[in-house]
């Protein structure tokens, strides 16, 4: 897959880019079935109080691994797109599975990823994430919400809300008066590429339908952190062919090498921030 100039321009202007059907139904069904039957993934999940009476459940790991999760994170469709958008070689910073279950899935407060990652010794906001929709994401089950063009504002101060770090809400409310608020509804297999400084959030899942998503995060080679932290420094990424997604099949974490799980104490979304 090669991005068009219009797609690149859209990402530069909006701070995010949605690519529909980046993964076909067979590929995303393999990912969905693997994740929902993966006991190790479930055992390493933990919850975060959203400050609104809900709880967000996620699993987070540093190394992509050799299983199906790692092949999604290392495939050309994702990595080549990241390198085009970020204009440099990228490496895998970490991945996570967001497990937003029916009726109980909590919210994510407004935040920028670089609002967290700044604390990790990264000098530039030259990182990006891609959210791969495992389940259908709608307003009703808590899809991602983004503020178009907010990546141009620079880094906003973050403070604790519940167990989560969020952007200063007084400032966010003013930003929402001048920039577009977008609900990023996705079908399974769609992918949303997100600039490190783009403000985003999601509401609680009060519906009957799950909203699971895999998020892969990448840093640029030139942005290697100046200090040791709980996410890895620059490590060359071995890309895999797009065809490998179907070839690797339902390979769970039980069959994978050490992927360097992160536990709640190391989770970047509140570390080093003041309440």
Kindly list the strands in the beta sheet with 127-133, ordered across the sheet, starting from the edge strand earlier in the chain: 16-19, 191-195, 127-133, 211-220, 90-100, 55-61, 46-49
* Over residues 175-182, mean pLDDT: 98
Q: Where are the domains of the chain?
A: 10-237+245-266
Which one, of 143, 106, 79, 95, lies nearest residue 260 by Cα?
Answer: 95
Map 8-55 to HEC letters. Answer: HHHHHHHCEEEECCCCCHHHHHHHHHHHHCCHHHHHCCEEEECCCCCE
Kind and range of the H or E run holding 78: helix 76-86
Map 212-233 to HEC letters. Answer: EEEEEEEEEHHHCCCCCCCCCC
Residue 273 pLDDT level (bands cut at 50, 70, 90): very low
In terms of C-beta density within 10 A (0-12 exposed, 13-18 middle, 19 or more buried), how is residue 233 classed?
Answer: middle
The reported pTM is: 0.94
What's residue 272's pLDDT?
Answer: 44
Instruction: Give residue-wise pLDDT tens across range 33-86.
Output: 999 999 999 999 998 777 777 788 899 999 999 999 999 999 999 999 999 999
Residue 242 to residue 244: CA distance in whole angstroms: 5
What's residue 60's pLDDT?
Answer: 96
Mean pLDDT of the chain: 92
Residue 215 to residue 207: CA distance in whole angstroms: 22
Which one, of 99, 178, 181, lies nearest residue 142 by Cα?
Answer: 99
Please say whether the beta carbons of 77 and 244 come within 8 A. no
227 contact partners, CB below 8 Å, separation of at least 6: 120, 121
What's residue 162's pLDDT?
Answer: 64
Encode burial over 21-36: b for 16+ CB neighbours within 10 A, e otherwise: ebbeeebbebbbebbe
pLDDT at residue 103 tops 90: no
CATH of 10-237+245-266, one of 3.40.640.10, 3.40.50.1000, 3.30.1360.170, 2.60.120.620: 2.60.120.620
Of 8-12, 204-208, 264-268, 269-273, the range with the lowest mean pLDDT is: 269-273
Residue 112 to residue 193: CA distance in whole angstroms: 14
What's residue 165's pLDDT?
Answer: 81
Of 49-63, 94-108, 126-140, 231-245, the range with the lowest mean pLDDT is: 49-63
Instruction: Give residue-wise pLDDT tens across range 206-251.
Output: 999 999 999 999 999 999 999 998 999 999 999 999 999 999 988 8
């Amino acid at each position: 897959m090669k991005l068009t100039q219009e797609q690149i321009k859209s990402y530069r202007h909006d701070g995010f880019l949605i690519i529909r059907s980046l993964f076909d139904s067979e590929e995303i069904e393999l990912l969905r079935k693997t994740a929902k039957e993966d006991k190790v993934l479930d055992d390493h999940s933990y919850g975060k109080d959203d400050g609104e009476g809900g709880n967000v459940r996620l699993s987070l790991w540093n190394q992509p691994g050799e299983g199906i999760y790692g092949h999604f994170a290392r495939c050309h469709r994702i990595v080549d797109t990241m390198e085009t958008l970020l204009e440099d070689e990228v490496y895998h910073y970490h991945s996570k599975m967001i497990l937003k279950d029916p009726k109980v899935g909590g919210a994510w407060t407004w935040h920028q990823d670089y609002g967290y990652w700044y604390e990790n010794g990264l000098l530039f906001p030259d990182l990006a994430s891609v959210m791969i929709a495992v389940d259908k994401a709608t307003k009703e089950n808590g899809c991602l919400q983004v503020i178009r063009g907010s990546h141009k504002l620079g880094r906003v101060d973050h403070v604790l809300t519940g167990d989560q770090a969020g952007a200063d809400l007084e400032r966010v409310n003013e930003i929402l008066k001048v920039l577009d608020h977008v609900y990023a509804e996705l079908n399974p297999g769609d992918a949303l590429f997100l600039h490190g400084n783009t403000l985003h959030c999601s509401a609680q899942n009060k519906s009957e339908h799950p909203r699971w998503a895999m998020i892969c995060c990448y840093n640029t080679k030139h942005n290697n952190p100046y200090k040791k932290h709980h996410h890895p420094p620059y490590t060359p990424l071995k890309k895999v062919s797009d065809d490998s997604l179907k070839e690797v099949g339902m390979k769970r974490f039980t069959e994978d090498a050490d992927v360097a799980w992160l536990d709640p104490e190391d989770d970047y979304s509140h570390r080093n921030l003041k309440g």
